[in-house]
Amino acid sequence: MHFKILLTTHSTAFMTSGGGESELVQVAELLNDAGVQADIYGIRSRPLRFYDAVMHFSVHADGEAIIREIVHHGKELFLWPNVWWLSPPDAAEIDRIEAMARRADRLLFKSVTELDHFNAYIAVDLGKCVVVGSGISDRFLLPADKDLLPTVCDVADYVLCLGLIEPVKNQLELIRALNRLEVNGLMAGGFRDEEYYKQCIREAHRGIHFLPFIQPCSALLRSALENALVVAEPSFDPPGRSCLEGAFMKKPLVMVDGEWQREHFDDDVWYTASTGASDIGPAIQAALSDKDRDEKIESNYERVYARHSSSTVATDLIKHLIDAGLTNY
């Protein structure tokens, strides 16, 4: 008998789809490829009673009704908090999230750094917490169509930044750095903050282009990565999946230094000294000219692939399902 799992998130998640929503879709894909029936909640999913357990992505308040239903039906709940606070949450938010965490049978984190960050604010039973790395699709290992991106965007020799355009992702300072360097850029993703987005467009030089949301794992996304000189995400929060995908495609990565970054990439990427344009620029130049560039890129690929290949992560996830006593794999 195969294990059957339902993947859910809060009700407003896809109003502005970002990295967390992409994570849900790709976890479903890697579990299905590994022989687990993993459905995403929606019109095509089955009634809750059909599933052995539920994975819920996010501790957003809009998801509380779904969690109540899961617990009411006696289903095992695997909770992915998917949060990174830049300032401490208030007392009411802490109480609400702690109550949600108590209802979960397992709490899943994509890194030790993320678990430590969560536990610094939220009191949780560490015995319920497990770390499972982000699974990156094997499609990023396939040859990419370099000719695809030029059919939708007339840009070449560019620095690529993936993700929603919003202040926490710091695209404006990246744009200012590219302006100073006179280097082309491609900002690929929709926006969460319209005023910030408009300011980015106003300040960008003519060689910096903007594309709306690109489908995760798509041929267009892989073409954008393949054509990029550098992948840069000098954000205030950990950069996440886009940099892992860049590592899979053997691209030099530029990011702000931090514990999450060191956990995933060690010394094999190019760190900015700050989130300001005056420090981002030199890091980009170093990523383009470092004499050890090729060795760093290859070492980064090997490190990231060993931890984040879809088969490795699927095996890890299934192990935790077995540990929960939910399946006879």
Phi/psi of residue 89, each to 5°? -65, 155
Query: Bridge partners of 231?
Result: 160, 253
C-alpha distances (whole Å) from 83 to each of 76, 97, 114, 118, 140 are: 21, 11, 8, 8, 26
Instruction: Give domain limits for the chain.
Output: 4-135+309-323, 138-307
Distance, in Å, from the CA atom of 105 to the CA atom of 133, rounded to the nearest integer, reads 19
CATH architecture of 138-307: 3-Layer(aba) Sandwich (3.40)
With beta carbons less than 8 A apart as the criterion, state whether 132 and 108 touch.
yes
* Tokens coding 68: 């109540």
Residue-level pLDDT, tens digit, the chain, 329 residues: 478 999 999 887 776 655 556 788 889 999 999 999 999 999 999 999 999 999 999 999 999 999 999 999 999 999 999 999 999 999 999 999 999 999 999 999 999 999 999 999 999 999 999 999 999 999 999 999 999 999 999 999 999 999 999 999 999 999 999 999 999 999 998 898 999 999 999 999 999 999 998 888 899 999 999 999 999 999 999 998 999 999 999 999 999 999 999 999 999 999 999 999 999 999 999 999 999 999 999 999 999 999 999 999 999 998 888 777 665 44
Query: Bridge partners of 77?
Result: 54
Q: What is the fold of 4-135+309-323?
A: Rossmann fold (3.40.50)
Other beta carbons within 10 Å of 151: 10
Nearest to 57 by CA among 117, 5, 92, 93: 5
User: Are domains 4-135+309-323 and 138-307 of this chain identical in fold?
Assistant: yes
